[in-house]
A and B are shown apart, each in its own frame.
Chain A
Amino acid sequence: MGVPVRTEELRKIYYSPPPAAAAGFRGLRRRSASRNAKNVHVVALDGVSLEVEAGEIFGLLGPNGAGKSTTIGILTTRVCPTSGRAWIGAYDVWAEQVEAKRLIGVVQQRPNLDFSLTAREILLFHGAYYGLPSAERVRRCAALLERFQLSDRADELVRGFSGGMMQRLSIARAMMHDPEVLFLDEPSTGLDPQTRLLLWEIVREYNRGGKTILLTTHNMDEADELSHRIAIIDHGRVIALDTPAGLKASIPGGYLLRLRFNLPAPGISERLRALRGVTEVRVEGAGVDLYAGRGGSLIPEIVAVAAEAGADLCDVHISEPSLETLFLHHTGRSLRQ
């Protein structure tokens, strides 16, 4: 079996400074927010409708402050939506919280472990909260500690754990009660490359058991590698939604050439657009973003065109089709900005 996840026109407006996990919104200055809390008005989500199928790995991709964590927060009963509805399976998250909570496991962006307990106790108590019988708790706890390579430090208080260990334990904890839907908010933050690969493997394995997985990331590789489908979110809106391959195919031309000239040359965009294989040209001052069906082979022609327009080409960056170029295409901004 598997459980689908659905949201309908979710909107969230913060009237007080949003929680730290969702911070990073544009236009919100901490100082002005605390001085005059009444005037805070931050639109974190602006009508997000998603349908995640049962047994799917669904990625939410977007820069910091795009609304990813708020979406996860609403789906996991931690954030109350201003309007709109959300369902985990048949349960309305806000009307039937307890039933919804029973189906989900959540890994928050920042490890929120119970610092008064040891790693083993965290897992055992977590199992107890979900009513697992004692023998089952002990068995699952041992298996997860082993799987996440935490067995040798299992009986230490987690206070002294490194960031990566805390993150691993958070993920183990979320899997402890074998939830039908697993939410991973920026799961690989703070993980070294090796552990990241381990995490990806574990996520895929968990998904093979028919579980639905919803993950947020601003790492394109991660979204690309893991997700069956990806929604790109920016400024609280879904701006694109498809399979990774489908999304990449939607980029005009596929290749992105970011060019910089020594001076803004009038008329250069028409000349560039006339080149064979070029599908789109965007000019901003002396910089030009050029989408085209080919990459390096265009350079000699660009240099020639530039010379005709009286400009010199100073810098070139060629990107192959990727989610990064897709994001840039939709928003005019880089994911990392």
Chain B
Amino acid sequence: MNWKTFAALLARDAHVARRNYLALMLQTLLQPLLFVFVFGQVMIRGGMMAASYKGMLLPGIMAIAMIFTGIQAVAMPLIAEFQFTREIEDRLLAPIRMEWLAVEKILAGMLQALMAGGVVLPSAWLLLGSGVGLRLDRPLAFASVAVLVALFSASGGLTLGCTIGQTNIGLMFSLVLAPMIMFGCAYYPWSALSSFPVIQKVVLLNPLVYASEGLRGTLAPQYPHLPIVVVLLVLSAVDGLLIALGLNRFRRKAVS
């Protein structure tokens, strides 16, 4: 393993991200904050939602922000760099096994996802005002869930980025990400689906469910949530699967 090369690859991605940090920041923050404002303020003050919805919503918003950021941070550049310009070629030729370049992308995506979570959580909290009621009783469990969620988003981004062509980016959002978010238990707890038994079973295939429920269970345990052990196990399994799949797709994309 050639750490110098790995560090240089990571430095390159950090450099590019720093150059666009303002845009990245807005991209990460705007959507969740708008959502928090509408559902956490307008609807609650208008009397259409119970005030307790605030604490319910926040972990879900954080999960979506992390997953969106991680997937975008890895998938979008990869899709562009594997286009006919083959911008990635220079890095594929770097003296390191090319799989490490994919690992580096995952690591960079994870860091960005964690940063997104770290920015969205306090700002959404501020925007929601009083009565959110977060309880960080188990910081270690929270950290583990957050890392696994970040890893899920980045390895998912790798798999998508090496599978989808530039022309299908729109489809990726409308066919993959949109249903994933709506059925991701981000805006409601999984138990709220009990009146739709079939849907409740099917959404268990959606990894975002475990991300939302896991963050909810460790940030606001007073609300109903899936057991944290189940969340940790499923997320670890999904992460392992996506890393293997992503590396495989990456290899196939990198070498003709």
On A, residues with C-beta under 8 Å from B are 14, 18-22, 73, 76-80, 97-99, 101-102, 104, 106, 108, 110-117, 121-122, 125-126, 128-131, 173
Contacts and interface: CB of A to CB of B under 8 A. Distances in A.
Interface string B228-256: 00000000000000000000000000011
A97 B97 contact: yes
B84 A113 contact: no
A101 B2 CA distance: 13
Interface residues of B, number: 28
Contacts of B12: 114, 117, 125, 128
A102 B19 contact: no
Contacts of A99: 95
Contacts of A101: 93-95
Interface of B: 2, 4-5, 8-9, 11-12, 15-16, 19, 77, 84-98, 255-256
B87 A115 contact: yes
B23 to A, nearest CB: 13
A111 B89 CA distance: 10
A19 B82 CA distance: 11
A131 B2 contact: yes
B55 to A, nearest CB: 40
Given A97-B97, A98-B2, A130-B95, A173 B90 contact: yes
Nearest to A130: B95
A101 B94 CA distance: 7
A98 B97 contact: yes
Contacts of B2: 98, 131
Given A125-B12, A129-B90, 10 more contacts: A22-B256, A78-B256, A97-B98, A110-B86, A112-B87, A121-B15, A125-B11, A129-B8, A130-B94, A131-B8
A173 B89 CA distance: 12
A20 B15 CA distance: 30
B19 to A, nearest CB: 7
A101 B5 CA distance: 12
Contact of B85 (A110, A128, A173): A110
B17 to A, nearest CB: 10
A19 B87 CA distance: 14
A111 B77 CA distance: 18
20 contacts: A18-B256, A78-B93, A78-B256, A80-B255, A98-B95, A112-B86, A112-B88, A114-B87, A114-B90, A114-B91, A116-B19, A116-B87, A117-B12, A117-B16, A121-B15, A129-B8, A129-B9, A129-B95, A129-B96, A131-B8
